[in-house]
Amino acid sequence: MSQEQPPTPAPDSSLDGSDQFAVRQSKLERLRESGSDPFRSNWDQSHTSSEALSLLPEDLEEGPEVSVAGRIVALRLMGKASFLKIIDREGKIQSYVRKDEIGEDEYADFKKLDLGDFIGVRGPLFRTKTGEITIRAKEYRLVSKALRPLPEKWHGLTDNEQIYRQRYLDLIVNEDSRDRFKARSRIIREIREFFWARDFLEVETPMLQSVSGGAAARPFRTHFNALDCDFSMRIALELHLKRLLVGGFDRVFEVGRVFRNEGLSRRHNPEFTMLEAYQAYTDYRGMMELTQSLIQQVAERALGTLQMERTEGDAIDLSGDWKEAKYKDLIIEAVGQDDWFELPKAAMLEKTKSMGIEVDPELEEFEITNDVFEKVIEHTLIQPTFVTHIPRELCPLAKITQDDESTIDVFELCINGQEIAPAYSEQNDPFVQREAFMKQVGEETQELDDDFLLALEHGMPPAGGMGLGIDRLVIFLTKASNIRDTILFPTLRPS
């Protein structure tokens, strides 16, 4: 971890350079003694780095004067002239500083700047011998001092722990990380644009809930002193968004954080970002069209392509209409026998054992089957696939398929070997809903939400609903390998 020295007391003229924090602090002291405090300076920017770079067309050698500001990330000092690179929110730009143009004293001060300092630079654009567009500085000013050194310039920062705990350092020196988080922001922006354009109302529902339902996961619990009662952090958005369908907001969506008190892994962070959308007078088939259009439009607009390269294997092709497959057909194909769903439990266990899958013998038949799906099938679904006709036991909130009592009107969208988005024809029969809830209430992670059932009894229009894990979407859209690379500040053990 980082070395936390206490601030060194007084600057020492006999500094030997071993303690970079102390050296920089003493530079700051000297500046203050000479009457300038960089922490109280500012700078008027006329352009960002990339705007400035666009002002010098190929056929010209000299461009207009610009004024930019940013953090120094490269410094090449020479006797009477120097090059430096600064980085701002859009990228890097080089500047050239000459002693004979800014003056002898100014140049002496300039050479005391450190990597990491924020400066402003003003001057005309020109092209160097090697063709790089560069600002010839007429004036510069230190606008904020950096007292700690930057990570190494060539390898950047590679220590995972430091990347997560000091994300700002990662963002300063690792361009791919910067780009990934910018892409995440664009993706979320495009998701909102998509729903706004379809006349959905964006809403916010409670994160603190007395009953956290809508999914089967352990919640984080906390206590509210004013009311002296326990609350949970939400584990899903579903039940409150459906209350809004009851209330007449018949197209709603929310993008928000949910919290699940489960394990950490490459694909799980205890707080993550969920999109849920509900549309009245449609069903899971309507949600299929919506989900496909959503992801295609977001990829096209945020990333400019529907072909997602992967580090290994074929690229993911998001174009066209996506494949559909029935859950039962996938299972039968995977186990290689047509009568799987008629088999007694013992035979199922025997079969899974022969396939090399570990299954808890206490599980019920549908759970064994779902283990087969999760352990054998899911990771093979790389290209976008809507898995439909899922066993009813797996989801209590969806409508039962009319001509097959054993399944529900649901799809699970799998991409990149992961479940990305489930969608249902939402259950709006309060009696069937209560019955389905009661069956699950015995389970440790399930609580009965009577208030939600009361709302259903007032009537909820027929509707399709969809949920999408944004972090997982970002993982495959940005070729990240770990959910932590898509969350700016992932959950870590306190240091």
Partner RNA sequence: GGGUCGGUAGCUCAAUCGGUAGAGCAGUGGCCUUUUAAGCCAUUGGUUCCGGGUUCGAGUCCCGGCCGGCCUACCA
Do residues 381 and 414 make contact, with C-beta atoms less than 8 angstroms apart?
Answer: yes
Using CB under 7 A as the binding rule, the residues of this chain from 350 to 389 that contact RNA are 358, 360, 375
| Residue 445 found at the interface with RNA (CB under 7 A) | yes
CA–CA distance, 364 with 391 (Å, rounded to integer): 13
Kindly give, in sequence order, each residue whose CB lies less than 8 Å from that of residue 39, ignoring residues fewer than 6 positions away.
144, 145
| Residue 215 found at the interface with RNA (CB under 7 A) | yes
What does the radius of gyration of the chain's CA atoms come to, in whole angstroms? 29
| Residue 6 found at the interface with RNA (CB under 7 A) | no
Q: How far is the CB of 79 from RNA (least distance, A)?
A: 3
CA–CA distance, 411 with 111 (Å, rounded to integer): 63
In the bound state with RNA, the residue whose beta carbon lies nearer, of 45 and 82, is: 82
Using CB under 7 A as the binding rule, the residues of this chain from 230 to 259 that contact RNA are 236
| Residue 71 found at the interface with RNA (CB under 7 A) | no
Both structure tokens of 406: 């054993």
Q: Which of 161, 321, 350, 451 binds RNA (CB under 7 A)?
A: 161
| Residue 454 found at the interface with RNA (CB under 7 A) | no
| Residue 57 found at the interface with RNA (CB under 7 A) | no
CA–CA distance, 48 with 93 (Å, rounded to integer): 9
| Residue 157 found at the interface with RNA (CB under 7 A) | yes
Q: Which of 7, 57, 59, 155 binds RNA (CB under 7 A)?
A: 155
Find residue 276's DSSP bridge partners: 254, 467
Task: Print the binding letters for residues 9-48 with RNA: x by CB under 7 A, - otherwise.
Answer: ------xxxxxx--x---x---------------------
Strand arrangement, sheet containing 229-233: 208-209, 229-233, 221-224
# chain residues binding RNA, by CB under 7 A: 83
| Residue 108 found at the interface with RNA (CB under 7 A) | no
Q: What angle do CA 338, 343, 349 make, to 5 degrees?
A: 110
Do residues 162 and 1 make contact, with C-beta atoms less than 8 angstroms apart?
Answer: yes
Using CB under 7 A as the binding rule, the residues of this chain from 261 to 290 that contact RNA are 262-266, 268
Q: Which of 154, 197, 344, 362 binds RNA (CB under 7 A)?
A: 154
- State the first-to-last Cα distance of the chain, in angstroms, to the nearest integer: 9
C-alpha to C-alpha distances, 484 to 69, 266, 302, 442, 480, nearest whole angstrom: 31, 7, 21, 34, 9
| Residue 434 found at the interface with RNA (CB under 7 A) | no
| Residue 164 found at the interface with RNA (CB under 7 A) | yes
Find residue 254's DSSP bridge partners: 276
Using CB under 7 A as the binding rule, the residues of this chain from 195 to 214 that contact RNA are 214
Stretch that binds RNA, among 151-159, 187-195, 279-287, 346-354 (CB under 7 A): 151-159
| Residue 260 found at the interface with RNA (CB under 7 A) | yes
